[in-house]
Structure 1
Amino acid sequence: MDIVHSMQVFVSVMETGSFTKAAQALHLHRPAVSKTIQLLELQLGGRLLNRTTRQVSFTPEGEVFYKRCKAILAEVDETMASLGNRPARLTGKLRVDLPVALGKLLIIPSLMEFQSQYPGIELTLGASDKPIDMIAEGVDCVVRLGALEDSSMVATGVGFLPMVTCAAPAYLERFGEPRTLADLDTHRAVNYFSGTNPRPIEWIFVVDGQVKTMRLDSGINVNDSEAFVTSALAGFGLIQGLELTVREHLKDGSLVRVLDGYPVPSKRISILYPHRDLLPPKVEAFVQWLKALMATHNLT
């Protein structure tokens, strides 16, 4: 029995939560996956998985074995990739989930450079502003903006995005331009909420070197970055948005900066990936490439 292959099959079953999905991911027949797990359990002399009609889950022994498999497979990948120390030797599939706006406006337009450096890596991209289950969905790493929820994932900061407070001219004609934070009591906001949590994200300003948070009445609430900017353009209210996403609108006058005397802290960019002893070389390569991209655009 090829023990490395067996470990790869076992890990795939656990990370997809399904024999069928693991077979699809590994381009194997489902019976072959099932047989591999059975032989592995027979060789180890114990049950690694609990099987039901709906899902598979770790036994205590299986959880220990999973963690060791991840470390060993990562070390195997790194050893193979390091031969000759050439990036072109990195191979395999890399699945990444990106924030919609950051992916569309900055990362994806630059990804041909990553592909040129690592032609053996096959990229699969998802674009989402909502939390995802990385293990269940088989995602290698995710890029996220702002404060991160408590998580068992490892987070690496790669840069910061400037923020700006602005509004459409039509909105300012109707409600007037706010000059101070106290003026915001009579204004409406395009408020953003994340995932299924309907509570809007707080507004943040820096006042005399101190961070001040506020909540504004909503003209509309959205949980999509493109709908967020579109709602501001339509005149629903003020927004605190990524400068990257409103830059062209500020240039053509369809959005106008306000409250310049009250800066907004930049939003942190982070990469998250499952905790493991050794980071797979293909993920490490993407992390380092993204750090370099942020530095190129003066976003570190």
Structure 2
Amino acid sequence: MDKLAGMKVFVKAAELGSFAAVADALEMSPQMVAKHIAALETRLGAALINRTTRRQHLTEIGRRYYERCRVVLTEVEEADAVVLNMQATPSGIIRVNAPVTFGSYTLSPFISRYLAAWPQVQVELTLSDRIINATEEEAEVLIRIGELTDSSMVAWPLAPYRLIACAAPSYIARHGMPQTPAELQHHACLVYGYWSATMPCRWIFHKAGKIEEVRPEGRLRSNDWKALMHAALEGYGVTLGPEDVLKEEIDKGRLVRVLPDYSGPSRPMHILVPSARKQTTKIRCFVDAVRTEFANK
């Protein structure tokens, strides 16, 4: 029979003084109580309880065993409480992978607030624009921009990743404000991403159901958004970047939105977890918080 269950029955018998009282307390038959005690005594090779037709009492060995059993059962309860508490309260390390620009400009401030709210949580944030293998990289939560292709992940949609065109007021003063996407061909454009002759960069704008595509050209291209935004702030040209980042610069008057009547490119964004990984409290809580923070409003 189960050792811990037998110890629990024995402790109750020692405290309540009768098998019938133990049976009522633990919701089992008096016969089952007797079997647990007998199994303990057989395993230990010693009598724990002296029983007569009128009363029962612990033997000397039984008293010593009772004291130790109480300690063991208390420690078991405390161990269970630790697990239950961890399941109820987010704690431990969460390994998160996200795209570079979104992660450094938008996700990082959110994570700082999240850590302040949940002091028992730690976050290991890695930023990369390449598609990683979540298992090999040991990533527990991923954020991806673009169409999803990996069916081994559980995904929840976030607000689309929207891009807008901007330039510094000083640039607009020198070169004028473009009125249509086509006019960007005559402007210095600051182009983000990887490029080649076979895969030119494309900026796509929408207005009234019509799509207009531009292939921007300029003397500065970079795969680092910070470099392009710095150049835009210095008045060097027109850039296309994430709306949530550029909005702050627009509100401060350091940048002006170009083509405000047009919608810029928009790409789907998701938060994902590997389907094979158990969604613990720390993961569920973090995913729910991200979904709330970056919901499609």
TM superposition score category, shorter chain reference: 0.5 to 0.7
Alignment CA distance shift 1:199-1:117 (3 Å):
same
2:232 is aligned with 1:202: no
Contact (CA 8 Å) 2:88, 2:281: kept in 1 or not? no
Structure possessing the higher radius of gyration over alpha carbons: 2
Matched residue, 1:257: 257
Matched residue, 1:213: 213
Contact (CA 8 Å) 1:144, 1:269: kept in 2 or not? yes
Contact (CA 8 Å) 1:191, 1:200: kept in 2 or not? no
Matched residue SS, 2:135:
helix
CA distance in 2, matches of 1:227, 1:104: 14
CA distance in 1, matches of 2:152, 2:228: 28
Contact (CA 8 Å) 1:171, 1:235: kept in 2 or not? yes
Matched residue SS, 1:247:
helix
* Shift, 1:182, TM fit: 2.5
CA distance in 1, matches of 2:200, 2:214: 11
Matched residue, 2:244: 244
Matched residue, 1:33: none
CA distance in 2, matches of 1:288, 1:138: 20
Matched residue, 1:231: 231
CA distance in 2, matches of 1:237, 1:266: 22
Matched residue, 2:144: 144
Matched residue SS, 2:124:
strand
Matched residue, 2:46: none
Contact (CA 8 Å) 1:158, 1:270: kept in 2 or not? yes
Contact (CA 8 Å) 1:166, 1:238: kept in 2 or not? yes
Matched residue, 1:99: 99
Q: Give the counterpart letter for 1:213 in structure 2.
A: E
**Structure 2 stretches lacking a partner, 5+ long:** 1-80
Matched residue, 1:87: 88
TM-score (norm 1): 0.59
2:193 is aligned with 1:193: yes
Matched residue, 2:18: none
Q: What RMSD in Å do the two structures reach over aligned CA positions?
A: 3.5
Alignment CA distance shift 1:161-1:131 (3 Å):
same
* Shift, 1:183, TM fit: 1.4
Cα shift readout 1:256-289 (whole Å, capped 9, x = no counterpart): 1121222225443322333427544433322111
Contact (CA 8 Å) 2:181, 2:213: kept in 1 or not? no
Q: Give the counterpart letter for 1:231 in structure 2.
A: A
Contact (CA 8 Å) 1:200, 1:221: kept in 2 or not? no
Answer with 187-196 or 251-260: which moved more: 187-196
Matched residue SS, 2:219:
strand
Q: Give the counterpart letter for 1:87 in structure 2.
A: A
Alignment CA distance shift 1:196-1:135 (3 Å):
farther
2:175 is aligned with 1:171: no
* Shift, 1:208, TM fit: 1.9
Contact (CA 8 Å) 2:178, 2:258: kept in 1 or not? yes
CA distance in 2, matches of 1:176, 1:261: 16
Q: Give the counterpart letter for 2:282 in structure 1.
A: K
Contact (CA 8 Å) 1:162, 1:266: kept in 2 or not? yes
Matched residue, 2:23: none
Matched residue SS, 1:179:
coil
* Shift, 1:227, TM fit: 1.7
* Shift, 1:291, TM fit: 0.9
Aligned length: 217
Matched residue SS, 1:217:
coil
* Shift, 1:243, TM fit: 2.2
* Shift, 1:132, TM fit: 3.5
Identity of aligned residues (%): 29
TM-score (norm 2): 0.60
Alignment CA distance shift 1:231-1:129 (3 Å):
farther
**Structure 1 stretches lacking a partner, 5+ long:** 1-79
CA distance in 1, matches of 2:122, 2:86: 19
CA distance in 2, matches of 1:195, 1:133: 24
